[in-house]
Amino acid sequence: MTDTTNITFYERVEEALQNTQARGAFDRATKRFTALRATAFTSLPAAGDLTRDRARAIRAETLSHLDRYLAQFADAVATAGGQVHWAADAAEANRIIGEIAQVNHVQRVVKSKSMVSEEIHLNHALEALGCEVIESDLGEYIIQLAGETPSHIITPVIHKTKEQVGEILRDKINMPLTHEVTEMTAFVRMKMREIFLTADMGISGVNFGVAETGTIVTVTNEGNGRMTTTCPRIHVAVMGIERLVPTLDDLSVMLQVLARSATGQKLSVYTNLITGPRRAHEPDGPDELHVVLIDNGRSKVLGTEVAEILYCIRCGACLNACPVYREIGGHAYGSVYPGPIGSVVTPALYGVALWSDLPHASSLCGACREVCPVRIDLPGLLLKLRHQTAAAGKTPKYLQVGLRAFRWAGTRPALFHLGMKFASWGSRLIASRGWIKRLPGPLSHWTQSRDFPAFAKESFSAQLKKRRRESGIEGQP
Amino acid sequence: MTTREETLTRIRQALQTGRLPVATPNDRPATLTPESDRAARLALFVREAQANGSEVFQPATLDDVVEMLHELMKQAGQQAITWPDEDLPLPNIREILFRAGVTRHVPNLPTEAALRRQTWENLDGIRVGITGTLAGVADTGSIVVQSGRHRSRAASLLPETHIALLPIERLYPSLQAFFAAHSPQELTQNSSNLVFITGPSRTADIEMIITRGVHGPKRLCVILLPPVGLAA
Ligand code: SF4
């Protein structure tokens, strides 16, 4: 995954911050999701605390015996009549799926939302073979028509207004212009039906694989997950190797936290369990089921100090809770995986050397850890990655310069104090009511999206000294 | 070609470095299913199902069912994709559907590509689907629909309106209680699809405005059947 073009993270952030309409949309949507999530958890005993503990324990158990569960899962898929494929990396996964398509003379492919297929750039690979690939999730479909990338892992088109969506649908699929969302939905339903019923191959992601039964689980609200895995003759399910739970009972625990964390629903509308292809006595469903197990860096991560990130169930709650994501949205991260999860998983999978900025795209406020249904210590993992970037000499420039200056001044007390005086005096000169709306020079980035407080009249150490003097305590601060 | 053994070996090697946080057995508390009696379960199911946008009917007599179906079919044309009699949990279902004026389609999809496509296109125009259910889940307001012999997935998926028959004694308090009562074999061995349906198809993708019936049914009507059976 090296398609972040040449612009830097900070340039993308700047671009994102200038799009005030999208910023408003991110802010509204994420706050609303956060509120819905909180309400949804109140219906569980102890507000979901016990369920989350258990969900975490299930992921811990699975990952610490991943070899065993993966083997069990693969055997069970085969017993149910499915075909299992193993892919070490993106190129191999694309080759495998491409071959399935070619052997079966597949022309039209319909997809339901899958992050891992975005991770490996599957659409691109299939299109290069001459296949037509159509995303079926409403948001993903609009994004695909617009030639963009998703900005949120649950609601990919959250950065667009309904007016903009109406224009895309008019320009790309000749829908009469409307601002009515119900009309747009009805039009897309009609358009998509034809695609579902004529597609040769359906590709889905996998929310969970169940080791004991070889069941794959896809969760959607729209029903595109069911259509994709029912109508076409061939169903290809792509999944990361870490996506497992041991048993159906474990699955029920994960399902209780997944929908609540993602959208604030108790359960998504279609929680779809698929075990093997259509049996001989069944009237419909695909004739072939292929499960492609994709490693693509995951086994490597498993042996590192950020292995815990593999517990992630891709619910998106940490995005919604993150004050940085709320401001800059998904595109600025430049990765398929945005937000706190992305800031850990992207460098973990593809190397801190290429993605050294992302672990710094966080204020470490801890909001993500609070909401994570499997209690991943995201701030802790970010710190570990920051440490790695520093060790690799990959600390972002602004930090390097700043820290060097601080070290230099910090070891020269007289100069340091003089500097503080100037800062205090200068900051109050440009502040209004104690807040600075626009910092000068390179510091202006800070105030583009927030205000900065003016410095106090006296430095902390000066205040402390004074107080001690007043209360009669002497000594060095 | 990456083999299974190569991947599993990579994983085993990675696990040896042992960086994962340890999970002790205490981290896995026992099943957390709230107990409830039958009346409470029923009330909870109705409340949750209505909250997720399902329409819940509780007919008292067979005539009520006929009338209800008749009304629904009148709005939606007389055709319906249905499951066979033995999978619709009402003893005289054949007669009921006949009296309600329903023309039934029990699909069977050919494997040959062109024929398969043709069958889908024929089914696509039908606006009502009628199915039974394996169970209901009270605390999420979901119905559980299992594919099988003559039990098409299409009936609960393609039409705009899905009518599901749910005997009240098949209600479980929670997902976990449902899984505890069914063996993995009976859920997956002879059936490729088990789906928990929680309301009608919906999306909130555009400006978070909730819209129904994107790809699946716009309406989900659950008919609850009392354990004593319906009066004639
Ligand atoms: S890290 Fe946690 S909160 Fe974030 S997407 Fe993964 S599971 Fe959800």
A152 backbone φψ class: left, alpha, beta (φ>0; ψ -120 to 50): beta
For the Cβ of A25 lying below 6 angstroms from any atom of ligand 1, the answer is no
- Report the alpha-carbon angle A344-A346-A349, nearest 5: 105
Gap between the Cα atoms of A207 and B160, Å rounded: 26
A226 backbone φψ class: left, alpha, beta (φ>0; ψ -120 to 50): alpha
Q: What is the pLDDT of residue A301?
A: 93
Structure tokens at A292: 């492609």
Distance from CA of B35 to the nearest CA of A (A): 12
Total length of chain A: 477
Residue B142 lies in a domain: yes
Q: What is the pLDDT of residue A407?
A: 55
Q: What is the pLDDT of residue A436?
A: 61
CA atoms within 13 Å, Cβ hemisphere of A260:
26
Residue B184 lies in a domain: yes
The range of the structural domain enclosing residue B133 comes to 37-230
Structure tokens at A475: 């000594």
Q: What is the pLDDT of residue A13?
A: 76
Gap between the Cα atoms of A250 and B176, Å rounded: 9
Gap between the Cα atoms of A129 and A255, Å rounded: 37
- Report the alpha-carbon angle A258-A40-A45, nearest 5: 90
Gap between the Cα atoms of B167 and B170, Å rounded: 6
Cα–chain center distance at B69? 19
Distance from CA of B91 to the nearest CA of A (A): 23
Q: Is the dihedral of CA A311, A313, A314, A320 positive or negative?
A: negative
Distance from CA of B96 to the nearest CA of A (A): 24
Q: What is the pLDDT of residue A73?
A: 98
Q: What is the pLDDT of residue B232?
A: 67
Residue B50 CB contacts under 8 Å (≥ 6 apart), including other chains: B56, B141
Ligand 1 pocket, mutate which of A318, A320, A324, A368 (most atoms under 8 A from CB): A318
Interface test with B, best of A33, A99, A270 (most B CBs within 10 A): A270
Please tell me the total count of domains within chain B: 1
Residue B191 lies in a domain: yes
Residue B81 lies in a domain: yes
Residue B202 lies in a domain: yes
How many other CB atoms are there within 10 angstroms of residue A459's CB atom?
Answer: 17
Residue B27 lies in a domain: no
Phi, psi of B103, rounded to the nearest 5 degrees: -95, 120
Phi, psi of B82, rounded to the nearest 5 degrees: -130, 165
Q: Is the dihedral of CA A258, A263, A267, A271 positive or negative?
A: negative
How many other CB atoms are there within 10 angstroms of residue B216's CB atom?
Answer: 29
Confidence (pTM): 0.87
Structure tokens at B116: 């398969």
Gap between the Cα atoms of B227 and A310, Å rounded: 46
* CB proximity A28 to B under 8 Å: yes
- Please, what is the angle between helix A181-198 and helix A162-173, to 10°? 40
Residue type, A302: L
Residue B73 lies in a domain: yes
A359 within 8 A of A385, measured Cβ to Cβ: yes
For each of chain A's 477 residues, which pLDDT tens digit applies?
444 445 677 777 777 777 777 777 778 888 888 888 888 898 888 888 889 999 999 999 999 999 999 999 999 999 999 999 999 999 999 999 999 999 999 999 999 989 999 999 999 999 999 999 999 999 999 999 999 888 887 788 888 888 999 999 999 999 999 999 999 999 999 999 999 999 999 999 999 999 999 999 999 999 999 999 999 999 999 999 999 999 999 999 999 999 999 999 999 999 999 999 999 999 999 999 999 999 999 999 999 999 999 999 999 999 988 988 888 877 877 788 888 998 888 888 888 777 777 878 777 888 899 999 999 999 999 999 888 887 777 665 555 554 455 555 556 666 656 655 655 655 566 666 665 666 555 555 545 445 556 666 676 666 767 777 776 554 443
| DSSP single-letter state for residue B151 | B
Indicate the SS3 state at residue B40: helix
- The ligand 1 atom nearest the CA atom of A371: 3
Gap between the Cα atoms of A101 and A305, Å rounded: 38
- Residue whose C-alpha is closest to residue A82's, from A271, A197, A209: A209
Gap between the Cα atoms of B160 and B182, Å rounded: 30
Q: Name residues of chain B where pLDDT drops below 50.
A: 25
**Has the ipTM of the complex gone over 0.90?**
yes
Q: Is B114 exposed, middle or buried (0-12, 13-18, 19+ CB in 10 A)?
A: exposed
Gap between the Cα atoms of A133 and B88, Å rounded: 38
Structure tokens at A394: 């990959």
Residue B8 lies in a domain: no
**Between β-strands B202-203 and A83-87, what pairing exists: parallel, antiparallel or unpaired?**
unpaired
Hey, where are the domains in chain A? 44-296, 397-471
How many other CB atoms are there within 10 angstroms of residue A410's CB atom?
Answer: 12
Q: Which homologous superfamily does the CATH classification assign to the domain defined by A44-296? A: NagB/RpiA/CoA transferase-like (3.40.50.10420)
Nearest to B28 among A54, A226, A293 (CB): A54
| Largest Cα–Cα separation, chain A | 91
CATH number of the domain bearing residue B100:
3.40.50.10420
- Residue whose C-alpha is closest to residue A338's, from A112, A172, A149, A100: A149
Task: Write down the residue that tokens 């210590």 correspond to.
Answer: A377
Structure tokens at A375: 């209690």
Q: What is the pLDDT of residue B156?
A: 97
A289 within 8 A of A83, measured Cβ to Cβ: yes
- The ligand 1 atom nearest the CA atom of A368: 3
Q: What is the pLDDT of residue A2?
A: 41
A392 within 8 A of A354, measured Cβ to Cβ: no
Q: Atom 2 (ligand 1): residue with closest C-alpha?
A: A372
Gap between the Cα atoms of A325 and A25, Å rounded: 12
CB contact under 8 A, A274 and B192: yes
* CB proximity A213 to B under 8 Å: yes
